[in-house]
Amino acid sequence: MAGAPHPHGRPSHTGPAETLDTQVIVVGAGPVGLLLAGELALRGIQVTLVERRHGPTTESRASTLHARTMELLDSRGLLADLGSPPCEPRGHFGGIPLDLTLPGPYPGQWKVPQTRTEAILEEWALGLGADLRCGHTLHAVRDHGSHVEAAATSRHGTRVTLRAAHLVACDGQDSTVRRLTGADFPGTPAARELLRADVEGVDIQNRRFERLPGGLAVAARNRAGVTRVMVHEFGTAVRERAGAPHFDEMAAAWKRVTGQDITGATPLWVGHFDDENRILARYRHGRVLFAGDAAHRQMPIGGQALNLGLQDAYNLGWKLAAAVDGTAPAHLLDTYDTERAAVGAAVLGNIRAQALLLLGGPEVEGLRTVLAELVAHEEVRAPLAAMISGLDVRYDVGGPEHPLRGARLPHMRLRVGETVCTTAELLRSGRGLLLGLGAPPPRLDATAAGRVDTVTAHPAPGSPPERTPALLVRPDGHVVWAGGRDGNGLAEAAGRWFGIA
Ligand SMILES: Cc1cc2nc3c(=O)[nH]c(=O)nc-3n(C[C@H](O)[C@H](O)[C@H](O)COP(=O)(O)OP(=O)(O)OC[C@H]3O[C@@H](n4cnc5c(N)ncnc54)[C@H](O)[C@@H]3O)c2cc1C
């Protein structure tokens, strides 16, 4: 990363000053920053969140949680707080209907407003001890090699200097940290844009990705009577904008595409987004790391942007905590970059494909027809559904081939002693898991005690038996070793992922 704080954007300062020492600075208390802060605090790490906003966001953003995100929230005991959100088993790929039904506890699209997800994550992270500094804008970062130093200014003019072992940029798509560090952010510029508004006081029919002769129209009314409308006119270029579009522009485009007049509606929020597609060349720059929209910029299509970011934070949290408390084996933190950059590149690829299918003009009709026919075949539907849901992620964790190695721990109902529980519940401590199925697992070194929970479980009544006798699972639910009672290869896997000899 660039060594010196960047001169641009640094406010002149004459007010009071404060210095704060912490272990990890997280810039941005959006959903990704909040989940990461909670993951760190869960493991006893001192974490300070620096957030520019001084109140909750008023923007209407993501509304979908996918299956893998639901699983990770379950593994932290946060699902009950969501209540009973509506679930739609049907999603889409570039507007082509796609059944998301897959094995697992939470298939489908769970309709949760992003504001609700953020509120739950904030309460959880703060309850675990994370320190949230709202109304603070970060404007300088410096990696000293031994530690990182950052500067923020509060809305009252206090300049705060923060020092920590690491800083994680979760500051969204226009990331200040990315700009300050000059991190390479290659990709493709925006070529198409969608206008979007949340409106009240209008009675129009729902439209599910309707491709009309002049463009694409979407209308979805929620339970509160608010209708989200989105429109794109085929062949129109992206406009230079200084701020949000005016509702008149949106209504005029809607009229041209659908013939409907919505000028009488009350706009609650108007925005736009485009298909700019970029991903950081590296997610780790020394002691500075990036997660969520700060690391990848994509069209928020199919509800993948938010889910991808939350899964970044889940992958990073336990690794960074181990690096800070000195228990991380060599290169553990680097695996965040290799694992999540690969997943990010794959997701951004499918988003590019979807943007083309959805917003391309008549020239993409043939392709859409072929794909719609292919999706009717299970061999095509299931992998696409797994890709959209985040269930296809499999990391390269080393060791001999095994169907579970690198994949997420499958959902199982188990009996542990007299208690019936699920595999997600076994991950709630935030530690690794050495799971013996049907009999105690092979033994690990005594240092494992603080890092890995050892559990012997049996299939719960009515559940199928699991054929693999023992599994070693990372705190983010990915299996790193699967084997027999002889424990062949277990010590190597434990050393590689947990620093246990
Ligand atoms: C208009 C819009 C609509 C969207 N719609 C959808 C959708 O329908 N589906 C979907 O999946 N995704 C959607 N997204 C994307 C989704 O909202 C993001 O993927 C998600 O919010 C990313 O979370 P994040 O925590 O990485 O970043 P953000 O949510 O952007 O959070 C970043 C935080 O950092 C703070 N910050 C920024 N700079 C600084 C600084 N210098 N100092 C201190 N704090 C700072 C910001 O105030 C903000 O709170 C949409 C995004 C936008 C902008």
Q: Is residue 463 predicted with pLDDT exceeding 80?
A: no
Cα separation, 312 vs 66, in Å, equals 14
Q: What is the mean pLDDT of residues 340-360?
A: 95
Look at residue 127 in the predicted model and tell me its pLDDT: 98
Gap from CA of 414 to ligand 1 centroid (Å)? 38
Using DSSP, state whether 476 is helix, strand or coil.
coil
Cα separation, 66 vs 393, in Å, equals 13
- Contact between residue 370 and residue 360 where contact means Cβ atoms under 8 Å apart: no
Q: Is residue 183 predicted with pLDDT exceeding 90?
A: yes
Q: What is the mean pLDDT of residues 323-335?
A: 95
What burial class does residue 134 get, using C-beta atoms within 10 Å of its C-beta: 0-12 exposed, 13-18 middle, 19+ buried?
middle
Q: What is the mean pLDDT of residues 235-258?
A: 93
Atom of ligand 1 nearest to the CA of 53: 47
Look at residue 6 in the predicted model and tell me its pLDDT: 36
CA angle centred on 271, ends 242 and 63, rounded to 5°: 145
What burial class does residue 46 get, using C-beta atoms within 10 Å of its C-beta: 0-12 exposed, 13-18 middle, 19+ buried?
middle
Closest residue by Cα to atom 38, ligand 1, is 171
Instruction: Give the side-chain half-sphere CA count within 13 A for 87.
Output: 14
* pLDDT tens-digit series, residues 41-51: 999 999 999 99
Look at residue 13 in the predicted model and tell me its pLDDT: 52
* pLDDT tens-digit series, residues 58-75: 666 888 999 999 999 999
Closest residue by Cα to atom 37, ligand 1, is 171
Longest CA span, the chain: 72
Structure token digits, residue 207: 């439209």
Lowest mean pLDDT among 22-36, 150-164, 328-342, 446-460: 446-460
Q: What is the mean pLDDT of residues 214-224?
A: 90
Pocket test of ligand 1: the residue of 26, 114, 155, 283 to mutate, having most ligand atoms within 8 Å of its CB, is 114
Domains of the chain (ranges; CATH) run 25-88+102-187+278-355 (3.50.50.60), 193-274 (3.30.70.2450), 413-498 (3.40.30.120)
Q: Is residue 8 predicted with pLDDT exceeding 50?
A: no
Length of the chain: 501
Q: What percent of the chain has pLDDT over 90?
A: 85
DSSP-derived letter for residue 409 is P
Atom of ligand 1 nearest to the CA of 177: 41
Question: CB within 6 Å of ligand 1 — which residues?
Answer: 27-33, 50-53, 59, 61-64, 114, 137-138, 170-172, 176, 271, 273, 292-294, 300, 303-306, 309
Of residues 27, 38, 90, 95, the one with CA closest to residue 64: 90
Gap from CA of 57 to ligand 1 centroid (Å)? 10
Closest residue by Cα to atom 6, ligand 1, is 62
Gap from CA of 484 to ligand 1 centroid (Å)? 45
| Amino acid of residue 439 | A
Structure token digits, residue 418: 């007299």
Q: What is the mean pLDDT of residues 333-361?
A: 96
Q: Is residue 1 predicted with pLDDT exceeding 70?
A: no
Closest residue by Cα to atom 11, ligand 1, is 303
Cα separation, 219 vs 342, in Å, equals 34
Gap from CA of 173 to ligand 1 centroid (Å)? 7
In 93-168, which residue ranges form alpha helices assigned H by DSSP?
114-127
- Contact between residue 364 and residue 356 where contact means Cβ atoms under 8 Å apart: yes
Atom of ligand 1 nearest to the CA of 293: 26
Q: What is the mean pLDDT of residues 278-287?
A: 97
Atom of ligand 1 nearest to the CA of 136: 43
Gap from CA of 252 to ligand 1 centroid (Å)? 27
Q: Is residue 9 predicted with pLDDT exceeding 80?
A: no
Gap from CA of 30 to ligand 1 centroid (Å)? 6
Question: With bands split at pLDDT 50, 70 and 90, how would you rate the model's confidence at 474?
Answer: very high
Letter string b/e over residues 270-295, b meaning 16 or more CB atoms within 10 A of that residue's CB: bbbbbbbbbbbebbbbebbbbbbbbb
